[in-house]
Chains A and B, each alone.
Chain A
Amino acid sequence: MINKLEADSLKIGKETLKSRLFIGTGKFSNNKKMPEIIHAGNASVVTVALRRVDQKSTEENILDNIPKDVILMPNTSGARTAKEAIRIAHLAKAMGCGDWIKIEVISDNRYLLPDNQETLLATEALVKEGFTVLPYISPELMTAKRLEDAGAAAVMPFAAPIGSNRGLRTKELVQILIDEIDVPIIVDAGIGRPSEAAECMEMGAAAVLVNTAVATAGNPLKMAEAFSLAVAAGRTAFLAGTGRVLSAGASASSPLTGFLRKEEA
């Protein structure tokens, strides 16, 4: 059992990850605290967006605040079509920070739900170009199967709408993906509490990505640490195998003999 736990590392593309927590870099009130927060969460992968340079902005470069020992996963946020996602992926790769790309194609501005069909088209094209592609999707089995067939390195279904902190609202659909898809399932978006991250991991998710839950916490540093512990606890529970659930009644945990009081005749 010990060996099994020690050997429990997640491989994605060519990389072996040091943990199962991914962190997003949006909405932090102070980007200078990001290295500490990323370390507190023991995050293995950090996602960043690509945006037009604002010549007037004095904001420091985000890469200065990302530790060198994490994998950088640019995302295609802002893309509304496969074509735009592919264009953003090319720009991200030209930045020279590896070949990982999180495909995110969203044209629904109210719920920010991903467009699975365009995401599949972008994934097919970028896998052929040699990218390590992690598509963000609505949890839907046939889309996930097609993404897997297309060569996606992982599949990232949402728990709840982006930035909502509403928890694992898609539990049954995510469980189906975990059961039926061979590539790692990474739950992304909507996770608000460490207990929800632990739940994903207990179910057999390969990893969890959080951003808003940490960025909007009272103390982001402490919350990153809490997520790290929760993800590790949930993973260990998954490997241990949770105990059985009784459909009714009870089952004593102590022996039913040898009471201190006299045995009744």
Chain B
Amino acid sequence: MSGGRAVAELNEQIIAKEVWPKTALKENDMLEIVTFMGGGSK
């Protein structure tokens, strides 16, 4: 995924993109990856 296009949150803590390659997932980790989508309201 290219820079500035998505943000990752691990256990509700935002993980900077530079740290992604060094971050290993453990069991029961909650990973959320979000991006901008078309949307005015709701």
Contact across chains for B40 and A63 when beta carbons are under 8 A apart: no
Q: Report B-chain residues with C-beta under 8 Å of the C-beta of A27.
A: 38, 40
Chain-B contact segment, one of A92-100, A244-252, A255-263:
A92-100
Are B5 and A63 neighbours in the complex by a CB distance under 8 Å? Answer: yes
Encoded as 1 (CB less than 8 Å from any B CB) or 0, chain A from 38 to 50 comes to 0000000001111
- Does the CB pair A211–B14 fall under 8 Å? no
Closest residue on chain B to residue A31 by CB atoms: B38
Q: Is A211 in contact with B36, judged by CB distance below 8 angstroms?
A: no
In whole angstroms, what is the CA distance A195 to B41 when docked? 22
A52 and B42 contact, CB distance less than 8 A: no
Tell me which residues across on chain B come within 8 A of A25, comparing CB atoms. Answer: 38-40
B7 contacts A48, CB within 8 Å?
no
Interface residue from B4, B12, B16, B38 paired with A95 (Cβ < 8 Å)? B4
Q: Given that A52-B33, A53-B34 are contacting pairs, would A26 and B41 also be in contact in the complex, using a CB cutoff of 8 Å?
A: yes
Q: Are B4 and A91 in contact (CB under 8 A)?
A: no
Residues 86-106 (chain A) with a chain B CB within 8 angstroms: 87, 90-92, 94-97, 104, 106
Across the interface, do A50 and B41 meet the contact criterion of CB distance under 8 Å? no
Over the window 8-34 of chain B, the binary record of Cβ atoms lying under 8 Å from chain A Cβ atoms (1 yes, 0 no) is 010010101000000000000000111
**Interface of chain A, helix or strand or loop or mixed?**
mixed
Given the interface contacts A61-B5, A91-B14, does A51 sit within 8 Å of B37 by beta carbon? Answer: yes
Closest chain A CB from B29 CB (angstroms):
16
Number of contact residues on A: which range applies?
35 or more
Whether A240 sits at the interface, judged by CB under 8 Å, is no
Knowing A63-B5, A94-B7, A95-B7, the reply to whether A47 touches B40 (Cβ < 8 A) is yes
Q: Are A95 and B36 in contact (CB under 8 A)?
A: yes
A25–B32 Cα gap in the complex (Å)?
A: 23
A189 interface hit (Cβ, 8 Å): yes
* Residues of chain B at the chain A interface (Cβ within 8 Å): 1, 4-7, 9, 12, 14, 16, 32-42
3 closest A-B pairs by beta carbon, nearest first, are A24-B40, A49-B39, A211-B40
Q: List 19 A-B contacts (CB under 8 A).
A: A24-B41, A25-B39, A26-B39, A27-B38, A28-B38, A48-B36, A50-B35, A51-B36, A51-B37, A51-B39, A52-B33, A63-B36, A74-B36, A77-B40, A91-B14, A95-B35, A162-B40, A162-B42, A189-B41
